[in-house]
Amino acid sequence: MKEAMFYEKREEQKVKCILCAHNCIVREGRRGICGVRENRDGKLYSLVYGKLISMNIDPIEKKPLFHLCPASTSFSIATIGCNFKCKHCQNYDIAQYPKTHGNIPGEDVTPEQVVDAAERAGCKSISYTYTEPTIFFEFAYDCARIAHERGIKNVFVSNGYTGTDAAKKIIPYLDGNNIDLKGDDQFYKQVCGARRKPVLDTIQLMKESGVWVEITTLIIPSYNDSDEVLNDIIEFIRSVDPSIPWHVSQFYPTHEILDQPRTPVDTLRRARQMGLKAGLKYVYEGNVPGEGGENTFCPECGEILIERFGYNTSNKIKNGKCFKCSLQIEGIWG
């Protein structure tokens, strides 16, 4: 347990947590929406500092991040808890655990041990992932500072609901952020228990601050697969930077959304073509290996620069440029 960052004391021992965009008012003895930040005697504490529920070595492509050190491995960590309650969450068993069980499981690990393990494994990055990294911010921040000093990159895989102050605090140590842009505001309210605008603000802030940003939309049939919703997402990405990679990924039935089929490949292909036609440079189809939509193409000459089949990659980018026409390809290639 560690005293939390980003909260304000209020009357009657209440506190206002400003770590994320929910801005929870938390009474004494209660927890915020995330289920892992608790008010004890007028002070807010993180209950998950150093309590890791998952530690794995993953391909960076699994995040998915396609333009950040391709074919490298990323030491991936998570605690329990989340500030969303997505009905289609693939990791709901750990994300919603505090709300269904109350206790805080996890292996006790220090930031130094995380970075040491990443270093021993030869990982080029540490990914704060599986659940929303914002909710274990204090631990992620301490890990990120040490990793940064040792030349290991830091990556968030996030829902984008990070508060502005917290985002600005982590940005100097954050190299990449794959942020979900899930749908329109109605989707966020009905499916996630959140709002859309804070996510857009985070994407804009991260990009303007020099963090490498990629965006993922899990396309769910009848929920967010209409041309109207997809075009709205495309136009937002284009307005920020058309070089932001957009991953349109296949949904499969899970958690509370069991009445919809897997996303048809034709739907992913339609979304990808819509994005490319609108001027996005890099659009990828996710969760459908072998269909060709995972490859990176040169926006200028059309050559395949990175060929992918699942997590297997063949990279022809040379010094950050197309091997054929020498166009600079946006990303972190070192």
The SS3 call for residue 314 is: strand
Distances (CA, A) of 98 to 1, 35, 79, 106: 15, 5, 11, 12
For residue 50, the 8-state DSSP code is T
Residue 167 confidence (pLDDT): 98
The SS3 call for residue 9 is: strand
Tell me how far apart the 2 most distant CA atoms of the chain are, in Å.
67
Catalogue all structural domains in the chain, each as residue range(s) with its CATH number.
2-46 (no CATH), 51-315 (3.20.20.70)
Taken as a whole, the chain contains a residue count of 334
Q: What are phi and psi of 96, to 5 degrees?
A: -100, 5
Nearest to 282 by CA among 62, 68, 59: 68
Residue 334 confidence (pLDDT): 79
Neighbours of 86 (CB within 10 A): 24
Neighbours of 141 (CB within 10 A): 19
Rounded Cα gap, residues 311 and 180, in angstroms? 20
Nearest to 123 by CA among 58, 67, 175: 58
Neighbours of 244 (CB within 10 A): 22
Q: What is the CA radius of gyration of the chain?
A: 20
Within the chain, which residues score under 50 in pLDDT? none
Question: Pairing between strand 73-78 and 54-59?
Answer: antiparallel
Residue 288 confidence (pLDDT): 95
CA angle 99, 100, 105 (to 5 degrees): 85
Neighbours of 258 (CB within 10 A): 9
> Which residues, at least 6 apart from 16, have a Cβ–Cβ distance to it below 8 Å?
7, 8, 10, 23, 24, 25, 26
Helices (H), the chain: 92-95, 97-100, 111-120, 137-149, 164-170, 185-187, 197-208, 227-240, 265-277
Residue 326 confidence (pLDDT): 98
Residues 110-133 have pLDDT tens digits of 999 999 999 999 999 999 999 999
